[in-house]
Amino acid sequence: MTTQPTDLFRLDGKVALVTGGSRGLGKEMVLAFARVGADVVIASRKQEACDDLAREVEQTTGRRALAVSAHAGKWDECDALAQRALDTFGKVDVIVNNAGMSPLYDDIRNVTEALYDKVMDVNLKGAFRLTAVLGGAMKDGDGGSIVNVSSTAASQASPGEMVYGAAKAGLHNFTKSFARAFAPKVRVNCIMPGPFMTDISKAWTPEMIEGLGRMIPLGRGGEPDEIVGAALYFASDASRFTTGAILKVDGGSVYGN
């Protein structure tokens, strides 16, 4: 029987783990993965939020969902998350390193060492550790796909996102380095989102939102579910000849990578 192109995007029999998975872009990816057949691991700092989404997944898709409270910036909690996933499902086929944070500061001179370390840990260190542990298990097993989620701040320098941008630029490097380290059995790619209208955008001023229309060629910020196409592409066999890639999903706001 001829395979239909849409079949390439299916994740039947797969297990997908998403950090920062209880809200925003992470939540949309969790729901999308479950809708195309994957069991899911939902990880974020707030257990209650993970539990709520796990119930939604199981009730609406019939897929299994494991809710795990884990701080993506803590090495030992990344190890514990990986072990919980493996103990529960026996494998992980897809990892999405989506957890991130970008605290506001009034002056770069007021960024403390503690804040600097926290931003680097959540955005970069956790992704490294989880990829090393579970990506290594994938390499030793049946392979898999790892999807990092960076930001246009990685390529578009901004004084208001200096540490965050540096961390996300590091994630681009990790994407390319792990793609080589774990090839050919494990593919590692990266989505680079621009501004999205998630719950975080509720804190934006009307002037900031209006400015998106001038800054972004498509004239607006992205809707959360508009991340799904890129996530499914990288997670599934649709991208089976793609690794080390960085895909902009930003409405055209950044030139180049």
255 is catalytic: no
Instruction: Tell me the fold of 10-249.
Output: Rossmann fold (3.40.50)
Q: Which residue has the higher pLDDT, 53 or 158?
A: 53
Question: Does the pTM exceed 0.75?
Answer: yes
Half-sphere exposure for 66 (CA within 13 Å, toward CB): 23
Hey, how many other C-beta atoms are within 10 angstroms of the C-beta on 126? 26
What are the pLDDT digits (tens) for 49-61?
999 999 999 999 9
Hey, is 96 helix, strand or coil? strand
Q: Give dist(CA 247, CA 257) in Å, integer.
A: 8
What are the pLDDT digits (tens) for 106-137?
889 999 999 999 999 999 999 999 999 999 99
Amino acid 2: pLDDT: 64
State the residue for tokens 């002037």: 207
Q: Give dist(CA 58, CA 39) in Å, integer.
A: 9
Length of the chain: 257
Q: Give dist(CA 183, CA 245) in Å, integer.
A: 13
| Residue from 105, 164, 233, 255 carrying the catalytic annotation | 164
Domain positions in the chain are: 10-249
